[in-house]
Amino acid sequence: MRELQQEIRALAREKKAIILAHNYQPPEIQDVADLTGDSLELSLKAAQTEAEVIVFCGVRFMAETAAIVCPDKLVVFPRPEAGCEMADMITVEDVEALKAKYPKAPVVTYVNSYVEIKAVSDICCTSANSINVVKSLAAKEIIFLPDMNLARYTQRFFPDKKIYFHEGFCPFHDVLTVEEVKKAKEAHPQAVFMAHPECRPEVIDLADAVRSTSGMLRFARESEAREFIVGTEVGLLYPLKKQNPDKEFYPASEKMLCKAMKIISLEDLKRALETLSPVVRVPEDIRKRAYRAVARMLEIPRS
Ligand code: 13P
Ligand code: SF4
């Protein structure tokens, strides 16, 4: 494996490529990447990099976001079939129906969506900045999609606004139940419970911290606590333990496993670098419209 990783690093240098990997990717992919991060960090990095080629290890909407912000770079996505079950839950017709119902409400679209959906949106958000994005809008009524759980979590911070949402969800976060969290807390009474905002509201109610994946990494590093129950996709356990070898991390549920995030192998990555393919292509008219929504999000200050 080490040899393959060294070959990949040499190829990345030769092709002037940067390898970006999401925090849920398999350990060997995270270890060979130039940068790992959450959706917001990876979008920002893609927007700022001077590399000519971006090789994206994550799911399709993430690679698409890189292609939206970098039209003159080559965005290579080793396994195009790696989709996102939440992103699959909404169509442009669904968005148009919500717009017709609430004509004054701007559309806030979670980046976990495909480019066609972003193209009919006003602004994007991620799990790390949904609160700041909604705060940036003067409107009192907002359409939020496709994740109903992130919408309902964000609504908690805006008692004077009404957030209408599409009923999409992530099957690997929505699966976590109150009973499982309570059981994990009983088994680890000293542990702090961190939840991703894609979890159900009643699970969020039990959380000591609600964070994006990189937010959880920061929280665990800075916390005095020694034990953590992790309420997100199990791939995050690897960087958590790597960054905090003296702390203990327990998955809230072993069912929180996103298969699409585990598709890319080192062999796929090597082949993608050798051939600089498959490439993510986004039709230019759709890209331009989606770009407005993504760029508007990227301008929002991080807190
Ligand atoms: P983050 O942006 O928090 O990393 O989340 C991405 C994701 O797909 C969560 O399921
Ligand atoms: Fe999509 Fe859920 Fe997988 Fe994230 S964990 S990529 S939201 S299916």
Q: Does residue 263 line the site of ligand 2, with CB under 6 A?
A: no
CATH, domain range 176-255: 3.40.50.10800
Q: How far is the CA of 259 from the centre of ligand 2 (A)?
A: 9
Q: Which CATH superfamily is domain 2-82+261-281 in?
A: NadA-like (3.40.50.10800)
Give pLDDT, residue 40: 87
For the chain, the first-to-last Cα distance in angstroms comes to 38
Residue nearest to atom 2 of ligand 2 (CA): 170
Sequence-ordered list of residues with C-beta below 8 angstroms from that of 217, at least 6 positions apart, any chain? 23, 236, 239, 240, 243
Calculate the alpha carbon distances from 114 to 66, 160, 172, 207, 290 in Å: 12, 30, 19, 30, 9
pLDDT at 1: 74
- Closest residue CA from atom 1 of ligand 1: 38
Give yes or no on whether 87-169+288-298 and 176-255 have one common fold. yes
User: Which atom of ligand 2 is the closest one to the Cα of 232?
Assistant: 5
Q: How buried is 189 (Cβ within 10 angstroms: 0-12 exposed, 13-18 middle, 19+ buried)?
A: exposed
Per-residue pLDDT of the chain (303 residues; tens, 9 = 90+): 789 999 999 999 999 999 999 999 999 999 999 999 999 899 889 889 999 999 999 999 999 999 999 999 999 999 999 999 999 999 999 999 999 999 999 999 999 999 999 999 999 999 999 999 999 999 999 999 999 999 999 999 999 999 999 999 999 999 999 999 999 999 999 999 999 999 999 999 999 999 999 999 999 999 999 999 999 999 999 999 999 999 999 999 999 999 999 999 999 999 999 999 999 999 999 999 999 999 999 999 776
Prediction pTM value: 0.96
Q: Residue whose CA is closest, atom 5 of ligand 2?
A: 258
**Res 303: pLDDT:** 62
- Domain coordinates in residue numbering, the chain: 2-82+261-281, 87-169+288-298, 176-255
- Which atom of ligand 2 is closest in space to residue 170's alpha carbon? 2
CATH annotation of 87-169+288-298: 3.40.50.10800
